[in-house]
Structure 1
């Protein structure tokens, strides 16, 4: 059927807007971009964690310290717009089994479609936090004080909290939760880049299959008017290091496994070493069988770290991380064969 209004500008959406109102149209693209990037970066983190846990489990089977199920336990606190889009993205792209994803929501009945897929939904924030390896905060800023008071000092040390709540800085969130394993993306807006690229797909799950949007959302080379930067990438790598420390791996084994995750996607990458993560003085006294010290992620995101200095000067490592990002998101999600046994 022919659209007889296709070439009539007076019937377009923008026709009835004033010049000032037209300038606000970019906010629609910006909102879509933040949703796409937020979901994509969360899926990337979960797939990195899953890959690392799989290597830790294989290492344990060969005489290592601790066996692990490669699927992390993923908790989503809040089922508003971002919570639902994140859940859909994880189910489609992460490869994590639905049974390893749980939701805490004041309205569990709103998640019937996900419950039918095997995702458990209830309203108990403490129960969710005690169970989760990765806990996504997808609540409104107005709800955050009550939630933090409920969870204060009750989060297991191993639980990585990932906050989508933009209004509260990561250091303040750490104080409210009494917890220092917190990752919070800090997105900035770049006016010179066209933002309408984010309107290519109506749903984030479709955007995660779009090569153009995957390129635009790559953390170290973002375009489309949104940027993220090295601090978030550093915090992701420090998260992997803490996971190794939590599994009681020696520093030598931790470095080997983390490098394996990255070099699998970019074989010519420069390798991370002890001084990439910690100061030279500390690194010189750290034995290979001794675990790395626990890293405070709020500090890693707000201060200059050895890893930030290393990544800033290593184009090879930046290429490796970008290659890992694109490869992990392009790879079809498949359940771990061992986890089904």
Structure 2
């Protein structure tokens, strides 16, 4: 159907704005950029966890569940956008995604795609391996009060509630297995328009220009993701192995294989993750488990891993089909060349 309003500037979004109001238009692109980048990074974490789950299954049946259970708590704009991004741009099955919201009847499109939608936050918390918090800051205290006694210790909570500090989340949930991405904007000319190229997150993630801007630490869209997010993701993978009683020797072998590039000779060791009196040597028992690592500490304090990544200048790779096709992260080679490489 022909859109008769395309060239009518008087009907455009900016036509009714004053000059002072137009100076604030950059906030619109920032909001969209946060949504797109947030979904892209969340999908990546899901894909990486799913890949590790498959590799753990290959380790003599270390885990009982074959698939990752992903919960989304909150059915507002962020929750809906994330659900659609997971369905359309990840390798997750729709039946492995559940969404809890006060009005599940409004999520007909998502429900029809195979996602189970209901209003039972406790049920969702008990079920999920990875739980996304997509609620308003004003609702968070009550939500956390509902679920904090029901979160399994190995359930990764990933918070989109940007106005609530990480230490506040720790207190509300009494749970230290939390990732909360921190974003900052940097001033670049002609970057804000990148985020306004598309009006749907899933469409944007298939655009080479947009997904290039979502690569962590790239800053191509003027959006900077805190470097400690990288450390938190790696520590989350480590904890996932520990939860499945995988000893430190096999854990290191698995993680090094996960990010093997065929180019770098740098590998993770026990002391890449854990401080010890013998940090200058590799004296440890490979048949022992890694200690459980608080992700809150990993994002608020210096750790051996942040030091290692800083010294080796972690490089974040741009990939043409980043999050845009079903084959994304289908094997360890793709995982390594799209995300981490130690120089």
Give TM-score, length-normalised by structure 2.
0.88
| 1:303, distance to aligned residue in structure 2 (A) | 0.6
Decide which of 263, 267, 271 is 1:268's aligned counterpart: 263
**What is the distance in 2 between the residues matched to 1:309 and 1:89?**
33
Bigger mean CA offset, 219-228 vs 26-35: 219-228
Contact 1:163 1:183 in 2 (8 A): yes
**What is the distance in 2 between the residues matched to 1:74 and 1:4?**
41
**What is the distance in 2 between the residues matched to 1:218 and 1:132?**
26
| 1:286, distance to aligned residue in structure 2 (A) | 3.1
Decide which of 259, 268, 279 is 2:256's aligned counterpart: 259
Decide which of 86, 102, 110 is 1:90's aligned counterpart: 86
In structure 1, the partner of 2:203 is 206
In structure 1, the partner of 2:338 is none
| 1:19, distance to aligned residue in structure 2 (A) | 2.5
In structure 2, the partner of 1:332 is 326
Matched, 1:153 2:149: yes
Two-structure CA RMSD over aligned residues (Å): 2.4
Bigger mean CA offset, 301-310 vs 214-223: 214-223
Matched, 1:20 2:23: no
| 1:4, distance to aligned residue in structure 2 (A) | 9.7
**What is the distance in 1 between the residues matched to 2:68 and 2:253?**
20
> For 1:211-240, what per-residue CA distance to the aligned partner results, in whole angstroms no more than 9, with x for missing partners?
111111111213222111210111011000
Decide which of 233, 239, 248 is 1:242's aligned counterpart: 239
Decide which of 43, 50, 63 is 1:67's aligned counterpart: 63
Name the structure where helix makes up a greater proportion of residues. Answer: 1
Contact 2:183 2:225 in 1 (8 A): yes
Contact 1:171 1:298 in 2 (8 A): yes
Q: How does 1:238-317 map to 2 (within 5 A)?
A: 238-263=235-260, 266-269=261-264, 270-281=266-277, 284-315=282-313
In structure 2, the partner of 1:339 is none
Contact 2:48 2:329 in 1 (8 A): no
Give TM-score, length-normalised by structure 1.
0.88
Pick closer, same or farther for the CA change 1:5–1:141 going to 2, 3 Å. closer
In structure 1, the partner of 2:218 is 221
Unaligned stretches of 5+ residues in structure 1: 337-341
| 1:309, distance to aligned residue in structure 2 (A) | 0.8
**What is the distance in 2 between the residues matched to 1:110 and 1:12?**
29
**What is the distance in 2 between the residues matched to 1:5 and 1:110?**
30
Decide which of 103, 107, 110 is 2:103's aligned counterpart: 107
| 1:252, distance to aligned residue in structure 2 (A) | 1.4
> For 1:188-226, what per-residue CA distance to the aligned partner results, in whole angstroms no more than 9, with x for missing partners?
111235211111111110111111111111112132221
3-state SS of paired residue (2:98): strand
Pick closer, same or farther for the CA change 1:210–1:21 going to 2, 3 Å. same
Pick closer, same or farther for the CA change 1:48–1:334 going to 2, 3 Å. closer
**What is the distance in 1 between the residues matched to 2:124 and 2:224?**
31
**What is the distance in 2 between the residues matched to 1:5 and 1:327?**
30
**What is the distance in 1 between the residues matched to 2:33 and 2:69?**
27
Matched, 1:121 2:117: yes
Pick closer, same or farther for the CA change 1:282–1:165 going to 2, 3 Å. farther
**What is the distance in 1 between the residues matched to 2:170 and 2:3?**
57
3-state SS of paired residue (1:329): coil
**What is the distance in 2 between the residues matched to 1:46 and 1:176?**
24
3-state SS of paired residue (1:281): coil
In structure 1, the partner of 2:333 is none
3-state SS of paired residue (1:118): coil
Q: How many residues align?
A: 325
| 1:116, distance to aligned residue in structure 2 (A) | 2.0
Pick closer, same or farther for the CA change 1:274–1:330 going to 2, 3 Å. farther
